[in-house]
Structure 1
């Protein structure tokens, strides 16, 4: 696969997708979106991959949409932002939200605008200490998109989400950690190694149980307690029938580390 805006590497069971337009602060354009669709599909189909890491090259995770890109116009000649959302951003957010493998957004630097919401659509967000997140849409008189108005209120509550969107203030990594937007903050000097170690640790986990857990969390957002308890029972039965459960119990009894196979 020939890539011009991304770098895709696989080490062990961890695939790393790096946004690779560092001269543009990894701004997102149509080509990058098309390549993201391709590599996420490749990652999903590769049975050897258990964890996908999304990160950036250079000083930023991403500055968001590339505003220098030629954007579509309507019959009156006005810029029409609907088609890029429908073609690129909305499918990407749906793909990340339903991705069957563990996804980690590794913020090596600022995640601004749509890229903040792309990061939050991943399962886990980790950040370098110098990184920040910013819902910057108001600065150019736009509405947050890429799922931001759905994801962010569910993470920090509607009032704080609205304040972050209306003020367009950056949230430094440590504050994002306190808000619950970021799971871990690593020092800049050790960020790459820490991310690799963290992802490798996740990759050793029970892939089937991880998929079922992701399903449970997703459905909990619309279930009442009774429905969620019933879902947990169904998913737990499926997990209990798995090879990994037998291996986990056997390893526990033998006082050794389990060797999960994701089935």
Structure 2
């Protein structure tokens, strides 16, 4: 059975982490499959939005510690190289994806699994889901971009509390502090995320890509740097067929028909 399931429907590609018996914990095989799938989705014009979710009761429990410990015991260097080889490229692929990426968090999201959700553009969450940053409990520090993404979602103080104390955050609290976009019943998580992705897939996807680029640049840059990127991306978006179509539709008082070009 594949560790990653890929489904396409109406411009939406759903990527499902598929190790339910292990709470979708991340083995080398799964990490490499996810990275390859993200790279493929980025270059596929037929894919206009992406949903990332997990099979079974969990979204993703983070690193598979059984595999990790077995490799450490064998003096294999792979576990210590996985951040550079797998986690950093996966988060970069999500954040730089020129299409919306929506996390459908169907259950527990821990460690790198939670970090993947933070890296997504939007997060639809089961009312039974929890987020846990338990790196300190296993003598490690943050990885997969969490030290960058999490404070930008919920603030430095709350992020530090999650990191140092490994306190789980439930769905309603996550919504209250701005970590997630929407909380729904467990059975509605995937369908809600896919419906939202379908709506966005029919939207001005080139403009979405430019918005992501400007937001990412401004999150770490100065005002001047942010203004420069906004100016460039606005000019680029202004030359798209979608912008012309939107203006024409507004004048004609009809819904726009976006092509993503």
Contact 2:105 2:189 in 1 (8 A): no
SS at match of 1:221: helix
- Between the aligned partners of 2:137 and 2:219, the Cα distance in structure 1 is 31
TM-aligned CA deviation for residue 240 of structure 1? 1.3
Q: Which residue of 2 aligns with 1:123?
A: 121
Cα 1:84–1:197 shift into 2, 3 Å: same
- Between the aligned partners of 2:149 and 2:194, the Cα distance in structure 1 is 26
Q: Which residue of 2 aligns with 1:195?
A: 193
Contact 2:108 2:130 in 1 (8 A): yes
TM-aligned CA deviation for residue 259 of structure 1? 0.9
1:57-206 correspondence to structure 2 within 5 Å:
57-70=55-68, 72-73=71-72, 77=75, 81-206=79-204
**Higher mean C-alpha deviation, range 39-48 or range 160-169:** 39-48
Contact 2:102 2:193 in 1 (8 A): no
Q: TM-score, normalised by structure 2?
A: 0.93
Q: Which residue of 2 aligns with 1:261?
A: 259
Q: Structure 2 stretches of 5 or more lacking a match? A: none
- Between the aligned partners of 2:76 and 2:226, the Cα distance in structure 1 is 46
TM-aligned CA deviation for residue 154 of structure 1? 2.2
Are 1:213 and 2:184 an aligned pair?
A: no
SS at match of 1:68: helix
Deviations 1:73-119 (A, max 9, x none): 499x4987421212111111121121111111110111011100111
Contact 1:74 1:80 in 2 (8 A): no
Cα 1:162–1:79 shift into 2, 3 Å: farther
Deviations 1:115-170 (A, max 9, x none): 00111111111111111111011222221211111221222222211111111111
Q: Structure 1 stretches of 5 or more lacking a match? A: none
Q: TM-score, normalised by structure 1?
A: 0.93
Provide runs of 4+ in structure 1 moved above 6 Å: none
- Between the aligned partners of 1:118 and 1:156, the Cα distance in structure 2 is 16
Number of equivalences:
260
